[in-house]
Structure 1
């Protein structure tokens, strides 16, 4: 087969037959991305795609090829300043994919010694997170969110639960006082939801900058302080960019992972019939419906032939974790629920440094919800659910659920013991404007 002329008809709504590139956006792609990946495989291990109107890239869809690329940091670089099409003005500056692809001085967009320095600081700081503390704070936050809808008998598990829980957990881990935490929540939500994204980004970076200044003056038992104290000696600017990277890269994918796992449990009866195998549901989700389906932007350092395709220096090359995980040969070989060799966390030197924490948070969030509301079920047919558009995220827009109304869970703290969340409310960080944001409301609920 000619690698440039696949012999199958493109999926419905796919204009690849007109442009020669497969669009990874729009409602048709969001509704059935695997139909697009199946079509893309007909080009070979890589395929020409369009990430948004006017933004071209190559997409790796083969598992073995993806691993080769992700581990080859000599040929494929991460520094987005190498992106030739962007530098030449061929990419619309207001494209919705530019904010996640444009260069910033953080670990994701660095190579070599600089990457090692920034990456080690992040890995060491995140490695200090105590699993017992994380479990406790996740349960507290889960209980609080459930308390807001438990008596109603219905909820949108995305808006009311999966979207909010990661934001709250990360706020606690990073030691945010209420007023800064409220603005971080606003900034991240706005950026990923595309609502006043430019203003939301300003709010996020401004709030993170204030958090850095606060921790310079008074450090605490939190990721921000640990990162600041690291031997890498990060400047304030480096702190802001690394913290924003961790928060942004952690919160939205975790939202999708919690939501996608809940979706899998609620619409596939076999998990309930087998005794509520949430860990298996989580692994199946990571294999078949990963929260970040396509990403890992790389740029060839020179003209190169790779996987039978010629790439020019500075061309944008992405990995489809979703397509690679579900390639026919790999799907036939993997053992459901026991094999964790999927690429949902990426691989190589830029693999996710927080996968263990993300797994723990997701398991705790799903288990606690099902324990508190055991008869919860999907409120609408599966085929009526809609998914967020775009190439980089895989998550539902809503997940309506119904259940028998129950009493709202109380606070999870042991009597007489201050929670780790309470301890993040340090002296001298009073809530501005009375504390009316979501983080402030949670702290008020937690402390009674």
Structure 2
């Protein structure tokens, strides 16, 4: 599942794996085997049974090589993803309570302003890679802001995580990780000195009483787990919109909307397609397969969602399912995504903003020639080349340059986040 064949046609692989039944043996890294849950009902049974299934990977991780490429994603940490029971409930409450303090209109205002600043960078070019220049950058600019550092720090976060996720050598990955750790250390130190109206401060002051180490791990988890899925959700939905004529009319008031594209993606091409790593607490017979205690079992959201067929772009039901059914893109049960509503708002706003400014945007290549990044867990485009009529700062009418401050204007280096009451108050088109 880590090679180019899987990246090019994951659904073809799922179809071949179904001969094994609800679960199939796979290899997620060289020499690292797992069982992949392909069946929707089996996926729900697993995700709703925290007694039989644990998220703690410590025993399992000791069985794989130290240099395995899968180890960074799967090694245990004291965070909401790798915890069970009371610890998981405690960590999750911190995250959900803190995100709930950001009003949707404030979050939307942040996304609109940051989207405008990115569009202003490439709007005059008439073309752009919507992954590297937009979908991958926007969530990081947003995280930098809502976690409490001024916008002048955002480029550091972007460069650190880009180096980490796109590394071609262990040395590049190590350098990216060191830069990310340095950024997180400065963020935590700034908030310990002076709190603000931001997620980091709310993590620190939550009644759950997280230790300094636990705060750091929740920040790292939230940024890492939020960045890749949001990037892929924006990119995959844009790819569908720009390759299907039914969405073109939407740009000038047609029937299909960015939300339709997002729901199609959540059903058919989930941004994180295969994850929900679980380990049985005992030997168990599960949907006809004997599984050893501690064996790695992954849930394939993509395979489970499309068990009874895939839908073409724009044909999903109102809830994103095939014919109106539910999807598992946010997982389910106690470990379902704790911030899926903000993620949906971010992706929808980002796409709406882009297509509002660049109303004739289209792909520069055919959809079926797009390249997908290798990897067992994600469904992620390597790039999304697009073209459009250039927009320039001095043209008549509203432009992104008039609706947000110049991205080159440095902001004061203060540790206090901007007050939420003033967020998103810049002038923007309706």
TM-score range normalised by the length of the shorter chain: 0.7 to 0.9
Give CA-to-partner distance per residue, 1:62-85, whole Å, 9 cap, x none: 1111011011100000011131xx
Match of residue 358 from structure 1 = 343
Distance 1:74 1:424, change over 3 A: farther
Is the Cα contact below 8 Å between 2:149 and 2:416 reproduced in 1?
A: no
User: Please, which runs of 5 or more residues in structure 1 have no aligned partner?
Assistant: 1-23, 415-420, 430-445
Distance 1:70 1:331, change over 3 A: farther
Superposition misfits of 4+ residues, deviation over 6 angstroms: 329-332, 421-424
CA-atom RMSD in angstroms: 2.3
Offset of residue 215 of structure 1: 0.6
Matches within 5 A, 1:222-301: 222-273=198-249, 275=254, 276-301=256-281
TM-score normalised to structure 2 length: 0.87
| Alpha-carbon distance between aligned partners in 2 of 1:200 and 1:424, rounded to the nearest angstrom | 26
SS in 2 for 1:148: helix
Q: What is the aligned counterpart of 2:25 among 48, 53, 62?
A: 48
Is the Cα contact below 8 Å between 1:279 and 1:337 reproduced in 2?
A: no
| Alpha-carbon distance between aligned partners in 1 of 2:93 and 2:367, rounded to the nearest angstrom | 42
User: Please, which runs of 5 or more residues in structure 2 have no aligned partner?
Assistant: 321-325, 394-399, 418-426
Give CA-to-partner distance per residue, 1:360-397, whole Å, 9 cap, x none: 11111111111101001001112221001001111111
Whether 1:87 aligns to 2:75 is no
Deviating more after overlay: 66-75 vs 207-216: 207-216
| Alpha-carbon distance between aligned partners in 1 of 2:331 and 2:241, rounded to the nearest angstrom | 24
Deviating more after overlay: 396-405 vs 199-208: 199-208
Match of residue 3 from structure 2 = 26
| Alpha-carbon distance between aligned partners in 2 of 1:131 and 1:146, rounded to the nearest angstrom | 22
Is the Cα contact below 8 Å between 1:143 and 1:411 reproduced in 2?
A: no
Matches within 5 A, 1:136-151: 136-151=109-124
SS in 1 for 2:386: strand
TM-score normalised to structure 1 length: 0.84
Offset of residue 134 of structure 1: 1.0
Match of residue 412 from structure 1 = 403
Is the Cα contact below 8 Å between 2:268 and 2:310 reproduced in 1?
A: no
Q: What is the aligned counterpart of 1:339 among 311, 314, 319?
A: 319
| Alpha-carbon distance between aligned partners in 2 of 1:187 and 1:213, rounded to the nearest angstrom | 18
| Alpha-carbon distance between aligned partners in 2 of 1:280 and 1:259, rounded to the nearest angstrom | 14
Aligned length: 396
